[in-house]
Amino acid sequence: MLSIAIPVAFALLTAAQLLNLYRLLKGPSLLDRILALDTMYIDAIAMFILMGVYFHSAVYFEAALIISVMGFIGTVATSKFLMRGDILE
């Protein structure tokens, strides 16, 4: 069952990343690009976990945790910078 499910899930996630990449490259405003990057890091967490299922390993969980923290901080910092021209008030 997993031998079918893992390639299907990889294909769906790759399609999602490519669509987000299109919005990242095309996006009319800068905030659309930030939004596309925000979605891309969430999809990257899913892809890392999927790699963990594929290789029967739990090492990828730590990478996913670090990506989730860093992606959130990056989104908040860039949005605040665009809003005020300053990160810390």
Say how far apart CA 19 and CA 7 lie, in whole Å. 18
**6 interacts with other proteins by CB under 8 A:** yes
Say how far apart CA 78 and CA 57 lie, in whole Å. 34
Q: Least CB distance from residue 51 to other proteins, whole Å? A: 10
Which residues in the 44-83 window bind other proteins by CB under 8 A? 45-46, 49-50, 52-53, 58, 61-62, 64-65, 68-69, 72, 75-76, 79-80, 82-83
Q: Nearer to other proteins by C-beta: 58 or 88?
A: 58
